[in-house]
Amino acid sequence: MDHSSPLAVTSADIDAAARVLAAYAVRTPLLSSPALDAATGARVLFKPEVLQRTGSFKFRGAFNKMAAIPEAARAGGVVAFSSGNHAQGVAAAAQLLGMRATIVMPADAPLAKRERTKAYGAEVVLYDRLREDREAIARGLAAERGATLVPPYDDPQIIAGQGTVGREIAEDLHALGMTPDIVVAPASGGGLVAGMAVAVKARYPQAAVMTAEPAGFDDHAKSLRAGEREAHDGKSHTICDALMAAIPGEVTFAINRQLGVQGVVASDDEVGIAVGAAFRELKLVVEPGGAVALAALLAGRLNARGKTVVIVLSGGNVDADLFARLIG
């Protein structure tokens, strides 16, 4: 672990975010399953962010960021770009804060995510994932409208908001008299894992914190091994539509590298098995991207036997037909 430079997000920032979110975010519980303990030989605890407002952890970061926008700047509204979960988080936060939200979404985003984003009152602007740059479109709209851009992960306030997931995990483990050996969460841009790593390591410095990614889209695993940001070569498709960011964020990667985070991967087939396991054993609806940490555990990638492991189930926004196929 490299302690040479101060972190962009501290546990005090996460404590502040927890105060901002207290009246709005769901404090999700830690769940366990005797069947999954037996299957893995580990003591496994699950953090079900599928039960969070909007069905994913993304609400936490979006609300923390947007609550800090000064009153004078709120009239311009907010603009975000997202394949779905951040979109819904921003849209719901905007509705609560009485602000206008415009979300730039890929035309191939799951219909359920597009419709739910609109249902929170946001305007959805579609773009072509292969030919257009979503960030450029969003920046253009923000400049034109005098709106605040709310990025999906590479922002200290967003990371601090997502870090409240780790803060709750640490508090609940402490209350249970348990010490985590391994804490794993899905990673796209890395905001959840970065915030979580800060919060968990503040109380449990020896805990191993890990990113979980779909095979072929493992930019965090590659980058953390190399010690510098590297893009994945995912030219194929993955059912984990929420985890397709091409390269770790600059801010998120700096935190994750400094805190000694490591990366694991799981194949789409393994993710499908995990979605089914969460449904059967935990009675939870978990989207493929939200199940990749569980997939890595079940596939034996974590060296978990005899250890206390925390798995974050990061989102549950999945099209019904895909879900039916995966659990069938």
CATH of the domain at 88: 3.40.50.1100
The verdict on 319 and 252 lying in the same domain is yes
> Domain boundary residue among 149, 164, 184?
149
Q: Is 116 among the domain residues?
A: yes
**Rounded to an integer, what distance in angstroms lies between the CA atom of residue 214 and that of residue 317?**
17
Number of domain units in the chain: 2
Per-residue pLDDT, 231? 86
The verdict on 174 and 263 lying in the same domain is yes
Task: Give per-residue pLDDT as tens, 103-140.
Answer: 999 898 878 888 899 999 999 999 998 889 988 999 99
The verdict on 169 and 299 lying in the same domain is yes
> Domain boundary residue among 126, 149, 172?
149
Share of the chain above pLDDT 70, in %: 98
For residue 194, the enclosing domain spans 11-56+155-327
Q: Is 198 exposed, middle or buried (0-12, 13-18, 19+ CB in 10 A)?
A: buried
The verdict on 266 and 314 lying in the same domain is yes
Residues 6+ apart with CB under 8 A from 38: none
How far does Cα 5 stand from its chain's mean position?
Answer: 25
Whether 54 contacts 95, CB under 8 Å: no
Residues 6+ apart with CB under 8 A from 228: none
The verdict on 203 and 80 lying in the same domain is no
Order of strands, sheet of 101-106, starting from the edge strand that comes earlier in the sequence: 123-127, 101-106, 78-81, 148-149
The verdict on 90 and 231 lying in the same domain is no
Residue 100 clears pLDDT 60, i.e. is over it: yes
pLDDT band at 259 (very low <50, low <70, confident <90, very high): very high
Question: What mean pLDDT is predicted for residues 161-188?
Answer: 97
How far does Cα 101 stand from its chain's mean position?
Answer: 21
The verdict on 95 and 122 lying in the same domain is yes
**Rounded to an integer, what distance in angstroms lies between the CA atom of residue 210 and that of residue 185?**
7
Q: Name the helix (H) or strand (E) containing 184.
A: strand 182-186
Q: Is 67 exposed, middle or buried (0-12, 13-18, 19+ CB in 10 A)?
A: middle
**Rounded to an integer, what distance in angstroms lies between the CA atom of residue 149 and that of residue 90?**
10
The amino acid occupying position 240 is C
Task: Give per-residue pLDDT as tens, 40-64.
Answer: 999 999 999 999 999 999 999 999 9
The verdict on 76 and 94 lying in the same domain is yes
How many alpha carbons lie under 13 Å from residue 14 in its C-beta half-sphere? 28
Q: Is 26 among the domain residues?
A: yes
The verdict on 180 and 107 lying in the same domain is no
Q: Is 2 among the domain residues?
A: no
The verdict on 98 and 113 lying in the same domain is yes
This prediction has a pTM of 0.94
Distances in Å between the Cα of 198 and the Cα atoms of 16, 19, 73, 218, 255 are: 14, 17, 30, 22, 8
Question: What mean pLDDT is predicted for residues 92-98?
Answer: 96
The verdict on 97 and 245 lying in the same domain is no
Q: Is 1 among the domain residues?
A: no
> Domain boundary residue among 149, 164, 189?
149
**Rounded to an integer, what distance in angstroms lies between the CA atom of residue 288 and that of residue 217?**
13
Nearest to 49 by CA among 181, 239, 154, 186: 186
Share of the chain above pLDDT 90, in %: 84
Question: What mean pLDDT is predicted for residues 295-309?
Answer: 97
Whether 266 contacts 295, CB under 8 Å: yes
Nearest to 85 by CA among 16, 14, 158, 9: 158
Q: Which residues pair with 124 in a beta bridge?
A: 103
